[in-house]
Structure 1
Amino acid sequence: MAGRLQDKVAIVTGGGSGIGEAISKRFAREGAAVVVVGLDSDPVREVVDEILSRGGRAIGYLGDISRQDTAKACVKAAVKEFGRLDILINNAGVFPATAELDKYPVDAFEYMIKNNIYSVFMMSRAALPELQKTKGNIVSAGSEAGHMGSPMITPYGGTKAWVMTFSKGLAVEQAKHGVRVNCVGPGPIDTAWTHKETGPMDSKMEKNTVNGAPLGRRGTPEEVANVYLFLASDEASYVTGATYFVDGGVTISKSLSGEEVPSHLKQQPPQHLKLEHSKEGNTKVRQDAAASMG
């Protein structure tokens, strides 16, 4: 049986770690040729090699996609290698700091504007001419924080609100060209971002983040990738301008309701993807992603 993305070509930004690794591998399993995009310091090569070892099709692309020339070159590389482009996944993003706003580092805010907003704008702009040819689609990473706002990460939520509103406008604008545009809104996912040892959260914020989910646990990168798969596939042919939250119910909760969930229901479901980089991620200002914008 053909996969759900058989013969499709997808670019996955931030595709070497965290949720991006899961998306890259899930798409490859479903028959897509995947361009795994990341920075020089990301484990892009390892993800590509694993996809190839399992009989999939993939290439890596390294570069700062918040820059116009790099974004255009990324799209050009995908088309040169695989002949077309059907799907753009704007997954790349950063989460470098937590603090009340009057103490929030200015360089961290600028870093998010560059890597959470400019990257989505530049990649979407560069990909649209090819996606119009194939009647393809874009799926971008929003966040429950972009929908609700969240204390201590107010600027981060603002960048994700931009992505979600941008996607709605782009969906209406591009409908006449046959291009669908949607968002996925992850909540507390089991990546580097939601652990105090690997991200900027302290122990209190980590605990509240998990307990704020009515399902009482972190989601897995694979659970998020499954929703990306649906939205990117032809099964979602009548879905555009939507944000699908994968948040364990955070956006409908008003309390730390996860504390009430019995321990046996807090267990994560069995996973099928071999993820080696789920606890890696952009959780501090990195020099290879902090260059000037434009």
Structure 2
Amino acid sequence: MKRRLEGKVAIVTGGGSGIGEAISKKFAAEGASVVVCGLPSDPVRKVVDEIQASGGKAIGYLGDVSIEDSAEACVQLALDDFGKLDILINNAGVFPATAELDKYPVEAFEYMIKNNIYTAFMMSRAALPHLQKTKGNIVSAGSEAGQMGSPMITPYGGTKAWVMTFSRGLAVEQAKHGVRVNCVGPGPIDTAWTHKETGPMDSKMEKNTVNGVPLGRRGTPEEVANVYLFLASDEASYVTGATYFVDGGVTLSKSLSGEEVPAHLKQQPAGDLHLNHGKEGHAKIRKEATGTMTV
């Protein structure tokens, strides 16, 4: 049976850890040639090596794609090595702090504007001329927090609402060029962001985050990657301007309904991908990704 992305070329930003690692490996397993994009401190090289060891095609790009020159260089690498571009996955994002707004660090807010918003803008802008040639598509990372808002991470939800609205506008704008644009809205996923040991949540927030999921557990990065795969594939040829929530029902929940789920139903599915970098996500401010977005 033909693999769903056979012959396609994809860029995955934030592709070295967490959900991005899963997307990169899922796309490669489905036949895509993948540019795994990340910061120099991300395990991009490891993910590329792991894809290649499994028989997939992948190269790495290290750079800050919130900056115009770096975004254009990432797209050019895909063209130079693979000859075209069919899919852009705007997965790069950061989750550096939790606090009530009057105590929320201004530095963390600026950091999210740079790494959640500018990255999606710059990469989409650089990729569009080439996606128009291939009648390709963009899938960007929204969030259930961008749909509902979420206390203690109010600015984060605001950045994700921007991405989701940006994607809807871009979908209508680019339809005449044959380019589809969609979003995936993850809920609490089993990455660095949702564990107190590796992210900014304290124990109370971590517990409430999981118990607020009607399915009673965190999702896996692979479960999110499965939805990215559908939206990026030709199977979604009539889908544009949509946000698909992969949230275990969080956007519909009004209570800590996860507490009622029996233990045997809270078990995560085993999955098929070998994911080794799930807890290496961008959950704190890194010096390499600070600074201005334009030169």
TM-score in terms of structure 2 length: 0.99
2:60 corresponds to 1:60 = yes
Identity of aligned residues (%): 83
C-alpha distance after superposition, 1:46-96 (max 9, x if no partner): 000011111111000000000001001110110110000000000000000
**Cα separation, 1, equivalents of 2:52 and 2:145:** 35
**What is aligned with 2:280?**
280
**What is aligned with 2:170?**
170
Q: SS of 1:198's equivalent? A: coil
**What is aligned with 2:263?**
263
Shift of 1:172: 0.1
C-alpha distance after superposition, 1:93-142 (max 9, x if no partner): 00000000000000000000000000000000000000000000000000
Q: SS of 1:204's equivalent? A: helix
Shift of 1:270: 1.6
**What is aligned with 2:108?**
108
**What is aligned with 2:35?**
35
Q: How many residues align?
A: 294
**Cα separation, 2, equivalents of 1:160 and 1:9:** 26
Paired letter, 2:290: A
Paired letter, 1:67: I
Paired letter, 1:150: S
**Cα separation, 2, equivalents of 1:288 and 1:237:** 38
C-alpha distance after superposition, 1:133-186 (max 9, x if no partner): 000000000000000000000000000000000000000000000000000000
**What is aligned with 2:88?**
88
Mapping of 1:11-50 within 5 angstroms?
A: 11-50=11-50
Mapping of 1:240-259 within 5 angstroms?
A: 240-259=240-259
2:2 corresponds to 1:2 = yes
**What is aligned with 2:140?**
140
2:190 corresponds to 1:194 = no
Paired letter, 1:19: I
Shift of 1:278: 0.5
Unaligned ranges ≥5, structure 1: none
Q: SS of 1:11's equivalent? A: strand
Shift of 1:2: 2.0
Unaligned ranges ≥5, structure 2: none
Q: SS of 2:79's equivalent? A: helix
**What is aligned with 1:219?**
219
**What is aligned with 2:118?**
118
Runs of 4+ in 1 over 6 A off after TM superposition: none
**Cα separation, 2, equivalents of 1:82 and 1:104:** 43
Paired letter, 2:84: R
- The RMSD of aligned alpha carbons is 0.4
**Cα separation, 2, equivalents of 1:33 and 1:235:** 18
**Cα separation, 1, equivalents of 2:152 and 2:114:** 20
**Cα separation, 1, equivalents of 2:56 and 2:191:** 25
Paired letter, 2:259: E
**What is aligned with 1:97?**
97
Shift of 1:292: 1.3
Shift of 1:200: 0.1
Shift of 1:291: 2.3
C-alpha distance after superposition, 1:5-30 (max 9, x if no partner): 00000000000000000000000000
Q: SS of 1:273's equivalent? A: coil
**Cα separation, 2, equivalents of 1:238 and 1:209:** 34
Q: SS of 2:205's equivalent? A: helix
**Cα separation, 2, equivalents of 1:164 and 1:134:** 23
TM-score in terms of structure 1 length: 1.00
Q: SS of 2:181's equivalent? A: strand
Paired letter, 1:286: R
